[in-house]
């Protein structure tokens, strides 16, 4: 972990709960949750209160001074908006949430704001830049290159030298063969086997995967 400040988690849904679990595993204090869903305000999740909205200046003013922030929002567009808001209003980057049971090569590159859950394995010289989501037991082999805001589902395997474009979604259990390029905002359905290039903004499915 690259920080010791208390963390405010933006997003109190499933991913927010998983992020809380990760920070607890690293003995990092979570100050509160912020969530846009007003019905959650005042609720407690694992003894941590949902205190308000991510737009609430009263809480945001602590970020970058006394607290760090982590964006636990799975929806790609919302995640991008909240990260942009943090950069513009607080001049901060979200911190990483990395489970203590993840395995990351010392030579791998990690940027900011990434979610890396238990059992994930990131190989030699792999690159995970900013605000990526890597779920439990996903594997990034050596020399894999992700762009920002990539989401990798549980148990997916990204073969060595593969490149995954910005905002792409790789479903649970999918296999991306070595050196394959997956384009920006492409979607690979769960359980698919990808052996050839996936063009930007397309969805592929099957074994081998075909565009749908």
Where residue 19 sits, what CATH number does that domain have? Answer: 3.40.50.720
Question: Of 128, 119, 204, 203, which Cα lies nearest the Cα of 162?
Answer: 128
> Has residue 162 been placed in a domain?
yes
167 shares a domain with 69: no
Contact of 134 with 122, CB cutoff 8 Å: yes
Last residue of a domain, which of 70, 95, 120?
95
Q: Do 82 and 132 lie in a common domain? A: no
Measured CA to CA, the distance from residue 63 to residue 107 in angstroms comes to 30
- Element of type H or E holding 23: helix 14-25
pTM attached to this predicted model? 0.94
Residue 143 to residue 122: CA distance in whole angstroms: 9
- Residue 76 falls inside a structural domain: yes
| Residue 117 sits in the same domain as residue 81 | no
Other CB atoms within 10 A of residue 74 CB: 17
Residues 86 and 125 in one domain: no
Residue 163 has pLDDT above 90, yes or no: yes
Same domain membership, residue 172 and residue 88 = no
What's the rounded mean pLDDT across residues 56-75? 89
- Summarised one tens digit per residue, pLDDT across range 96-124 is 999 999 999 999 999 999 999 999 999 99
Mean pLDDT computed over every residue of the chain = 95
> Do 158 and 69 reside in the same domain of the chain?
no
- Number of structural domains (the chain) is 2
What is the domain extent for residue 166? Answer: 96-212
Are residue 15 and residue 54 in the same domain, yes or no? yes
- Whether 108 and 39 map to the same domain: the answer is no
Please choose, from the candidates 165, 104, 184, the residue with its C-alpha nearest in 3D space to the C-alpha of residue 139. 104
- Of 76, 95, 114, which residue constitutes the final position of a domain? 95
What is the CB neighbour count within 10 angstroms for residue 164?
28
Over 80: is that where the pLDDT of 161 sits?
A: yes
The CATH number assigned to the domain holding 158 equals: 2.160.10.10
pLDDT in tens, 25-43: 899 999 999 999 999 999 9
64 and 108 share one domain: no
Answer whether the bond into residue 57 is a cis peptide, omega within 30°.
no
Residues 167 and 199 in one domain: yes
Is 60 exceeded by the pLDDT of residue 3? no
* 1 belongs to a structural domain: no
């Amino acid at each position: 972990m690259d920080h010791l400040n208390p963390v405010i988690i933006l997003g109190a849904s499933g991913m927010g709960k998983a992020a809380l679990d990760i920070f607890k595993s690293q003995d990092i204090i979570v100050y509160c949750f912020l969530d846009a869903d007003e019905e959650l305000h005042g609720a407690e999740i694992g003894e941590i209160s949902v205190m308000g909205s991510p737009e609430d200046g009263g809480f945001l003013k602590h970020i970058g001074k006394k607290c760090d922030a982590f964006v636990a929002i799975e929806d790609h567009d919302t995640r991008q908006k909240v990260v942009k808001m943090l950069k513009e209003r607080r001049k901060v980057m979200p911190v990483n949430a990395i489970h203590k049971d993840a395995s990351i090569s010392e030579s791998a590159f990690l940027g900011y704001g990434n979610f890396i859950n238990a059992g994930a394995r990131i190989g030699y010289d792999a690159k995970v830049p900013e605000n990526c989501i890597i779920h439990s037991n996903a594997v990034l082999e050596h020399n894999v290159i992700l762009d920002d805001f990539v989401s990798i589902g549980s148990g997916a395997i990204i073969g060595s030298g593969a490149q995954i474009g910005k905002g792409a979604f790789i479903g649970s259990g999918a296999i991306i063969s070595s050196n394959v390029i997956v384009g920006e905002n492409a979607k690979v359905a769960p359980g698919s086997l990808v052996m050839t290039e996936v063009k930007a903004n397309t969805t592929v499915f099957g074994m081998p995967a075909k565009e749908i």
